[in-house]
Amino acid sequence: MSSSWEVETEYQVETTWIDLRVVMFHHGDYLLYHVPLRSSDEGIDVILKLKRSLVASRGWWTNTLMKVVPFLTPVVYNATMCPVPIEAISRDLPCIVDIGAEYRCHVLTKALHNPREFPIGCDFVSSYRRFSALVETPGTLRARDVLLIRLEIDKLILSAIILLSIILSIICGVVAGFCWKSLDTGLGVFGAVIGVDGIVMGQLDNASSFAGLPLDTGMAKYVYTRIHKKMQFRFRLCCTSYLGS
């Protein structure tokens, strides 16, 4: 009898499910999703389910963009929804919700990139209870904690990519100018390479806007243009002095 009771208890534990409230930013709106988790799920299981939910909430174009562009990364925040009746967020999911202005980064951000950073044997029913959809009395109106996942730009990686592209264009222009002993050829190669970089950056910016990502690349464009003009001017002076000698 003891063994049968243990088997029954184990079965009940394994089939205990919780719905994790996850909000994702998409096309200017915050959409609420329910991610089903078992109480017996380990850290890697939770991360995989969150990744699947993130992919499912995005279109094919955005998912491809996430794989190709290295500076787009998902960031997880602790957030609080504005008070709404429980009926407004219990059916017809995903639904649009309002998020409070203050939210802070969550440990799941690192886990999305490296699942080993997340503890394997977590009790999600207890530790994530405040993010789960619990049974509430009809008409309950209160603020509720959620996990907010946003695609954001990694400014460090973006700056490195811009810098490397400019350096590459300068090297190509200098090599072409020295090989052909021609300032026009060097400037032409330099302009062509950096022009391709500009087209790629513009397409990524348009794709980010189309995908509804909260990216502000206006400053990046401004910095990129200023650096481009300064480097082109210095490159012209360098080639002029070299060819004049």
**Does the structure show a pLDDT above 50 at 150?**
yes
The structure's pTM equals: 0.62
| Token output for 224 | 């990129």
Question: pLDDT digits over 109-136, tens only?
Answer: 777 777 666 665 555 556 677 888 888 8
Edge-to-edge strands, sheet with 29-38: 95-97, 29-38, 17-26, 141-153, 72-85, 104-105
**In sequence order, which residues have a C-beta less than 8 Å from that of residue 129 and are 6 or more positions away?**
18
Q: Is it the case that residue 40 has pLDDT exceeding 60?
A: yes
Q: Return the pLDDT at 96.
A: 84
Q: What is the pLDDT averaged over residues 79-90?
A: 87
Give pLDDT, residue 10. Answer: 47
Q: Mean pLDDT for the chain?
A: 69
pLDDT score recorded for residue 211: 46
